[in-house]
Structure 1
Amino acid sequence: MNNNGAINKIRKIQDSIQFSGTFYAKSMEHILTGSYGFANRSEKIKNQTNTRYAIASGCKIFTSVAICQLVEKGKISFDTKVKNCLDIDFPHFDEGVTIHHLLTHTSGIPDYFDEDEMNDYEELWVSTPMYHIRMLHDFLPLFENRKMKADVGSSFHYNNAGYIVLGLIVEHVSGLAFSDYIEQFIFQKAGMADSGYFEMDELPERVALGYIEKPNGGWKTNVYSLPAKPASDGGAYVTAKDMITFWDALMNHQLLTEEMTRTLLRSRAEVIEDIFNGYGGYMETNQNGVVKYILMGYDPGVNFRAVHYPDIYLTIVVCSNESEGAYDMIKGIENAIL
């Protein structure tokens, strides 16, 4: 399909769902991009192609790449036990928990936000002021003294706390603050000039505020709904184009060697039929191998989806500054292009 035909289909999707955000699709032959809605509703500042969006758990892959880089340098291995690479006491954690278990969400450690027990991420900050959550260590009181959720090495169970622990490992092994490490060894190496771990009370230019719809149909920002600073389990700010740049850098082996890139992207645990999890996120498979790699992120006022089709080298990124819409938009773009 030509670009005009695809854009017309995408506009129809936007008309039906009133999407707020930016999409960017890149293949060997085509580039499609567009933006809708407002980065700031009260000031009527529109979202633009270069608007920066929070992407929630969509940035867990940055943590995974950082760990893989440290493995390449021989600082740690995937079989390294948490107790041997951190000087933090987790009194109830199984001593057999390894980096591999944390990466694959099979560690069994307690989560600070367990979606089986809690529906709304905002509930976390009723008793714990979110403006105090600015460093990885600030998350520890939320889970460090809780008992194991499941046996180590058990089946896949999505776990945010595991990625906080991975971030602490990056800090301990590298000697850098987690955000400094990611910005130096991933963002700068990949050429992601607009991405960063920005504090919500010190946001730079071109950042979209996140919006949550209220029961009465009005809107509020998510300033009281998220930690003050993004962490190793999610929340970094990117442009849609920067995430295209990230996939290009990853698949062209600018961030990891070819062998380690394969390790990052290899399927590890089946989540549901034909959907597997690896060190780098989800992937859809068929009898011939990986159809596409999938990144996703959901927070109050944040919605993110990205897919990369390795065989046809197509990458699609959708960033939204509302709680919903990215999934519908990316499925529509996939249908329009494919």
Structure 2
Amino acid sequence: MTIAEKLQNFVLSGKDHLPFSGSILVQEGQNTHYKEGFGYANRSEKLQITPSTKFGMASGCKIFTSLSISQLVQAGRLSFNTRLKDVLIAPFPHFHPDITIHQLLTHTSGIPDYFDEEIMDDFEELWKQVPMYSIKTPKDFLPMFQQEKMKFTPGSSFAYNNAGYILLGLVVEEISGQAFPEYVQKHIFNVCEMTDSGYYRMDQLPEHTALGYIDNVEMDTWKTNIYSVPIIGGSDGGAFTSVIDLVKFWDGLMNGKLLNKTFLDQILCPHVESGEEMAYGYGIWISKEKGEISKYLLFGYDPGVRMHSSFHVKTKIQTHILSNIEQSVYPIGSYVDELFADIKAHQNL
């Protein structure tokens, strides 16, 4: 059986509580091994998902923020060692004065988070006190964390932090003079010809965009995620894209369309260890095998959103999975890796 046939069988025979709903694209160089959509982008209208369907990325789009910052550094507008207090004039009474751009990019700043994943696990809980429809720009997040105390001394530890990327978005706006979504559209999406990507309002989604679904399996009911995430995404997450556009993005990134080699190496450098054989660069996860970098990864999950996007360093294999249900896409990504590992093993016999 071909890779496509094996992957198709794996997805359709999944033992999860819900059938997979989303798009998958597996590419090796210029060769597309698999490109398919499953389920409905709109269940009420029974609109089928295709590889061109747009999905929410959740935190998977933090890479766009780190790229925006790196482009401004490349242009000489600031540096990775620039202190936060020297760029933003907003009051942060309890923040350490020496927090740097580098520390915000690598989740080592120690600032408080508006959604602390160490003590919270329900993103929807945030919007009981702060209406999600009021969160339209990075600035709107500030009251949710700017008066809180530091978690640790800057640079002393790693703790995944959404608020840090909110601040980076504000830095992009301050330095560039553009709203954050406009900057990304002009300097990343347009450059890579990502025609199906953008920061869309949840109440004004364009055609061919999947609604995110939150299923209650026990009650056999579901709802969309429109009241569960900010009304428009920003610098910590919430952009929309397609699996086809993710290929365009990785090709543009790796071929120098977005940054020169010096600054691309900064993005892809394992700046901080985040677990066994895992590290974090600037807005990107880095997987290692026996201490060597094996692949770069983007992950994202919000209510009604799951995404996985990876680029293998040696083989150039790209695996992109976008889903509009709350079910892990990790097994699919792992199975793709197993398929290619088996092929390589047989070639070496």
In structure 1, the residue matched to 2:219 is: 216
In structure 2, the residue matched to 1:132 is: 134
- Residue identity over aligned pairs, in percent, reads 43
Q: Secondary structure at the match of 2:152?
A: coil
In structure 2, the residue matched to 1:36 is: 38
Q: Does 1:19 align with 2:23?
A: no
Q: CA deviation at 1:277?
A: 0.8
Q: CA deviation at 1:295?
A: 0.8
How far, CA to CA, are the matches of 2:296 and 2:190 in structure 1? Answer: 23
User: Residue 25 of structure 1 aligns to which amino acid in structure 2?
Assistant: V
How far, CA to CA, are the matches of 1:153 and 1:242 in structure 2? Answer: 35
User: Residue 41 of structure 1 aligns to which amino acid in structure 2?
Assistant: R
In structure 2, the residue matched to 1:70 is: 72
Number of residue-to-residue matches in the alignment: 338
How far, CA to CA, are the matches of 1:187 and 1:329 in structure 2? Answer: 27
Encode CA deviations 1:296-331: one digit per residue, 9 max, x unaligned.
001000001111101111110000001113212222
- Give runs of aligned pairs for residues 238-277 of structure 1, distance below 5 A: 238-277=241-280
User: Residue 6 of structure 1 aligns to which amino acid in structure 2?
Assistant: K
Q: CA deviation at 1:332?
A: 2.1
Rate the CA distance shift 1:172–1:288 in 2: closer, same or farther, 3 A: same
Bigger shift: residues 218-227 or 23-32: 23-32
Cα RMSD after superposing both structures: 1.4
Bigger shift: residues 126-135 or 22-31: 22-31
Structure 2 unaligned residues grouped into runs of 5+? 342-349
Contact 1:293 1:307 in 2 (8 A): yes
Q: Does 1:337 align with 2:344?
A: no
Contact 2:73 2:80 in 1 (8 A): yes
Q: Secondary structure at the match of 1:190?
A: coil
How far, CA to CA, are the matches of 1:224 and 1:336 in structure 2? Answer: 39
| TM-score w.r.t. length of structure 2 | 0.94
Q: Secondary structure at the match of 1:322?
A: coil
Q: CA deviation at 1:117?
A: 1.5
In structure 2, the residue matched to 1:200 is: 202
Q: Secondary structure at the match of 2:187?
A: helix
How far, CA to CA, are the matches of 2:154 and 2:138 in structure 1? Answer: 23
Rate the CA distance shift 1:8–1:117 in 2: closer, same or farther, 3 A: closer
Q: Secondary structure at the match of 1:69?
A: helix
Give the counterpart of 1:112 among 87, 111, 114.
114
In structure 2, the residue matched to 1:324 is: 327
Encode CA deviations 1:86-114: one digit per residue, 9 max, x unaligned.
12111111001000000000000000000
Q: CA deviation at 1:116?
A: 1.3
Rate the CA distance shift 1:199–1:267 in 2: closer, same or farther, 3 A: same
User: Residue 322 of structure 2 aligns to which amino acid in structure 1?
Assistant: C
| TM-score w.r.t. length of structure 1 | 0.97
In structure 2, the residue matched to 1:58 is: 60
